[in-house]
Amino acid sequence: MNPLPAALAPPRRVLMGPGPSDVSPRVLAALAAPTVGHLDPYFLKIMDEMQKMLRSVFCTTNELTLAVSGTGSAGMEACVVNLIEPGDRMLVCRNGVFGQRMTDVAGRAGAEVTPLERDFGKVFSPEDIAEAVQRVRPKVVGIVHAETSTGARQPLEEISRIVHEAGALLLVDCVTSLGGLPVESDGWEIDAAYSGTQKCLSCPPGLSPVTFSPRAVEAIEARKTKVASWYLDMTMVRSYWGEERAYHHTAPINMNYALHEALRIVLEEGLEARFERHRRNHLALAAGLEALGIEFAVAKEHRLPMLNAVRIPTGVDDVAVRKQLLGTFGIEIGGGLGPMKGKTWRIGLMGETSTGRNVLMFLAALERCLADKGAKIDPGAGVAAANAAYADM
């Protein structure tokens, strides 16, 4: 008889990659609270409170706002399959891995997909979108607000106006931005948005917050065909989250506890204060990296404060540095994806991870790794520059 595996003993890491982010002890404690039934009055109360908090974080009054039982990719699929019927035209803006994924999801849902391409790390201009929607006349336009694979932030206000003037619905990927950047769902007239718990909300991965505008709900209710996914069909899921409490699936009770506590933490801090904290730590990190001669892969005006994509210095081994950071210092950062693989590092400052302590610790560790790999740097310059940046704020 084979012996049982050893009991779990995960190492302690500082999660400074593209996700997941560090998780508050308060959230971990909520995750370990006693499980109740998915129709227990206590859990139904938790669901109601979560919906209210999610509306606050999404900056919306949308009634159909909830947490999909699945990761951020499930949220993406939920938004696409509920808005798209076979033969519908969908314009998908692709400037990174997750725009590409949305294209794949839309095609599987039966959409006639037209991709609008830009290089990784670039963003779309209003003129780009205006030309494309006039040419394609789509039912839905999908775009990524914060492209996790490149560290680029996509401005949305003017694009939203153009999309709606063309009579289309706007679908937005907010997986990395929600809780770290403003996501003005009502102000920007976003019709459907999805996120994930493991980025700036600093909750373990497993749920996907989504919100649908009244226009999107009308489109769902006007469908001529059933939603392609039974599990993600909002016409049924909303009955579970609404007053009917109609059984649909057994929700992951304890994951919902964790998100409930994570949202409480976000709203205790306040959205504006949270956005400012992410901005401040991003600027200090950027100053430190610049002092080490490390350049960003994204134009300054489009950089994400919570996900810093930087170019790997010439002659430096990508994997060797990340391996040393993890093995020696317990710090995880991410490598590049797609055409950026082997060329960039992705340094996360999301939610609980976004602290001055982590910025300074990471810069000191990176200096050591670069020096060990033979890179020519000014010892202590990164930490000094970051400290100077904090002093000037």
Show me where the domains of the chain are located: 25-268, 271-392
Question: What per-residue confidence (pLDDT) applies to 287?
Answer: 98
Q: What is the mean pLDDT of the chain?
A: 97
Q: What is the CATH number of domain 271-392?
A: 3.90.1150.10
In CATH, what is the architecture of 25-268? 3-Layer(aba) Sandwich (3.40)
Model confidence over 104-161: pLDDT tens digits?
999 999 999 999 999 999 999 999 999 999 999 999 999 999 999 999 999 999 999 9
Asked whether 61 and 209 are in contact (CB, 8 A), the reply is no
Residues 6+ apart with CB under 8 A from 351: 21, 22, 179, 180, 199, 200, 201, 202, 306
Model confidence over 198-223: pLDDT tens digits?
999 999 999 999 999 999 999 999 99
Residue 201 per-residue DSSP state: T
CA-based nearest residue to 102, from 193, 198, 190: 193
pLDDT at position 1 over 80: no
Work out the pLDDT band at 322, boundaries 50, 70, 90.
very high
Work out the pLDDT band at 373, boundaries 50, 70, 90.
confident
pTM: 0.96
Torsion of CA 213, 216, 218, 221, to 10 degrees: -120
